[in-house]
A = this chain, B = another copy of it.
Amino acid sequence: MAAERMVVVGGDAAGMSAASQARRLKGPDELEIIAFERGHFASYSACGIPYWVAGDVRSRDELVARTPHEHAERGIDLRMRTEVRELDVSGRRVLAHDLETGEESWTGYDKLVLATGASPLRPRLPGIDAPGVHGVQTLGDGQELLDTLARAKGRHAVVVGAGYIGVEMAEALVRHGYEVTVLHRDEQPMSTLDPDMGRLVHDAMTGMGITVVGGAAVTEIRTGPGGRVRAVATAHGEYPADVVVLGMGVRPRTELAEAAGLPLGRSGGLLTDLSLRVRGHEDIWAGGDCVEVWDLVSGSMRHIALGTHANKHGQIIGANVGGDYATFPGVVGTAVSKVCDLEIARTGLRERDALAVGLQFVAVTAESTSRAGYYPDAQPMTVKMIAERRTGRLLGVQIVGREGAGKRVDVAAVALTAKLTVEQMTALDLGYAPPFSPVWDPVLVAARKAAKKLREAR
């Protein structure tokens, strides 16, 4: 039997994990694997870019999990700087464009994996392409920003957007000695949290010397001599800037799939079944930042761009393409981040998410510490917990604190997956010793408070 051919579009986490997993299951005699990547780098940790820029990670190469050469050694033909520009579903082939030579050619597939990732939102504002304005989506972006920082010797940095990338880049720029202003459009930074918890992030960042301006929609990037960025303007003011970093979020990169008639969801991500097969297409899979995922808490499809999901997707797609069987049951919406020593975490639904899907709830906020109060370096932590009013089921948790706060969200992530009630959570047998936790873990403190409020609300 002639070898089947697996074609992968997009050579980062989801795509190359899929290729690698399929290769583990089937050798080159059984399965030919060709992967197309339009960029200069593949198989890298985009999540690591802020830490590379900050100086925590010394070299770009450390972010690369596997080079094209290493893939080749494992029988994966990864073609760099090659963009897939057309997908012919009925002809089972893709049109690849070599960005170096300009050559184009069709490649047939038996199994296709779409792992085209996400595009950064970059509004068409005056000056947005000026020198000194940077995204941080790719390793190339990171290198360009580092080059600017090395050259600019500036004093003022503006970060546009106050989500994960925004706050992480604010820290990176502080570490480079800049006076940093973060402009964002919402009431509070970190809009993946409820505003009351976002307020804590605002206050902590302000305490670090970062200027955080909410309700600030950027209207223009103003340039100075040589066309370089000079300032960022909003309706309410102008903020001097020697360098600007854009962290305004992303959307699924699905133009190729859309043109081919593949099904997209409300946020523009590809729709798949639980095996990550594109709905209605037997031989096409999709995963990573270009798909929508099932949210187990709200019972709806969402777009979440996150490396850990992309890696899981890749494994699952690779297993299925390789003739094994695996499914992706969905997410609960866990995310964790930090800005300097502030740790920020969330999982499940915010108040507005619960309202949007018709769930009534109680919400509580509990103050606690990371360790026993008498133990050195016990750090304050705030845990917000949301529970469904009638059933008491946990709906979401948000945590803002210092060292030791963030990963506590994992307890809630598992509880959401298992659909535990907050009453059940009050009895959870969590690890306790004075260096690790107060005798009542902060998550338990919040659960007790939520359970009490629920009883009173009945």
Contacts and interface: CB of A to CB of B under 8 A. Distances in A.
Contacts of A337: 433
B429 A48 contact: no
Interface in A355-373: 372
A417 interface: yes
B420 A436 contact: no
A429 B332 contact: yes
A428 to B, nearest CB: 6
A127 to B, nearest CB: 31
A447 to B, nearest CB: 11
B374 A439 contact: no
A113 interface: no
Interface in A410-445: 410-411, 413-415, 417-418, 420, 424, 427-437, 439-441
A308 B345 contact: no
A269 to B, nearest CB: 17
A132 interface: no
Contact of A336 (B312, B338, B432): B432
A432 B440 CA distance: 25
A336 B433 contact: yes
Contacts of A331: 429
A418 B164 CA distance: 31
A333 interface: yes
Contacts of A237: none
A427 B312 CA distance: 8
Given A13-B439, A407-B437, A375 B56 contact: yes
B417 A431 contact: no
18 contacts: A47-B434, A48-B375, A48-B434, A51-B375, A56-B375, A56-B435, A63-B374, A307-B439, A329-B427, A331-B429, A338-B436, A343-B436, A406-B431, A406-B436, A410-B411, A410-B430, A410-B431, A417-B424
6 closest Cβ pairs, A-B complex: A418-B418, A336-B431, A308-B432, A62-B374, A414-B414, A334-B429
